[in-house]
Amino acid sequence: MTDPFALTEDQLAIQDMARRFTADAITPHAAQWDEKHLFPRETLRAAAQLGFGGIYVSEESGGIGLGRLEAALIMEAMAYGCPSTSAFISIHNMASWMIDRFGSDALKARYLPALVPMDMMASYCLTEPGSGSDAAALKTRAVRDGDHYVVNGSKQFISGGGENQVYVTMVRTGEDGAKGISCLVIEKDMPGVSFGAQERKLGWHSQPTAQLILEDARVPVENLLGAEGDGFKIAMIGIDGGRLNIGACSLGGAQRALDEAVAYTRERKQFGKAIADFQNTQFKLAEMAAELEAARALLYLAASKVTNEAPDKTRFAAMAKMIATETGSRVVDRALQLHGGYGYLMDYPIERIWRDLRVHSILEGTNEIMRLIVGRDLLRD
């Protein structure tokens, strides 16, 4: 950004490219993906051909080496067509970046040439059946056995579970608490790796979600990211960007809902005139637009802080995620109300967006945890 209010020419070009790709390859198919629970692998790989499989993976590792604001622009643009598909690409990017940032040269050489074009796809595995918000209490344990770790435990709600080939997984190698957590790159076909049944979800139907099950899984020691005990730090650094991206997905879905509401209220007539002509409708649309722009401004600011490693980057990422996801859901809910009974039908995109955005206040850290992060950081100052 050249100033707090303007995107650069390069950023505008990236945004335009993502919007054009979405209009051509995502928006026309999103309803079918949702209704039939289709995982659009080829569309994902087509996105990767534009560089969207390694958005902030370094150029040295084959990525396009962009910042977090550029990533947010891409996620927002793709979520306009399908928040679920955009969120899947976000998670893949987060996991791939973690390998690039914290992996050895050998590990990067092994995985990134296939991850960047999305020939292989990656999942981020932190949550467990018994530890969600209290992530540092995770129980999955990895015990050193020669040149391997033997891993036992399970990971819950894994996007790409059972379909993706690579799982960046937080495990316990030491003491209780955050300091005993390490990060391993686990492959789908390693001995002892299996998956639960596909989850039956309210939304996010275009991506698979399943439990990752590890039963005496043998993972090479060389698949360790960073050092033993670095896992929680790595997870939290990675999730700052994930929070920005999921907030951006909410913005994109909400913008689509607002645009649909504007078009619908212009066409829909009641009491002899378009419902857009009623002042009550105009007030609602105005509030939706204003709240969306305010959330977008905060998210773009937070993205710039994360890119620049600002001292308050985590606080701003948490605030942006909280505000963008809650604003997005409110905007979509109002758009559905403006559609009346038609908004409840699958013939219109509003109900799908409403379902997809609902989980954004839960994943990447619940919004209650976002409030804790912000409050504690303010009091620490």
Greatest pairwise CA separation for the chain in angstroms: 79
Q: Which residues contact 160 (CB under 8 A, 6 or more apart)?
A: 88, 91, 92, 121, 122, 123, 207, 208, 209
Residue 27 identity: T
CA distance 214 to 190: 10
In tens digits, what is the pLDDT along the chain, a chain of 381 residues?
446 668 999 999 999 999 999 999 999 999 999 999 999 999 999 999 999 999 999 999 999 999 999 999 999 999 999 999 999 999 999 999 999 999 999 999 999 999 999 999 999 999 999 998 888 999 999 999 999 999 999 999 999 999 999 999 999 999 999 999 999 999 999 999 999 999 999 999 999 999 999 999 999 999 999 999 999 999 999 999 999 999 999 999 999 999 999 999 999 999 999 999 999 999 999 999 999 999 999 999 999 999 999 999 999 999 999 999 999 999 999 999 999 999 999 999 999 999 999 999 999 999 999 999 999 999 986
Which helix (H) or strand (E) segment holds residue 79: the answer is helix 68-79
Closest CA to 158 of 150, 168, 172, 143: 168
Residue 244 structure tokens: 């920005």
pLDDT on residue 1: 47
Residues 229, 54, 205: CA angle, nearest 5 degrees: 90
Cβ distance 144 to 166 under 8 Å? no
Q: State the CB neighbour count (10 A cutoff) for residue 333.
A: 18
CA distance 247 to 363: 11
Active site residue 287: no
Catalytic-labelled residue, pool 215, 228, 364, 368: 364
* Total residue length of the chain: 381
Residues 175, 142, 150: CA angle, nearest 5 degrees: 150
Tally of CA atoms within 13 A in the half-sphere of 77 that contains its CB: 23
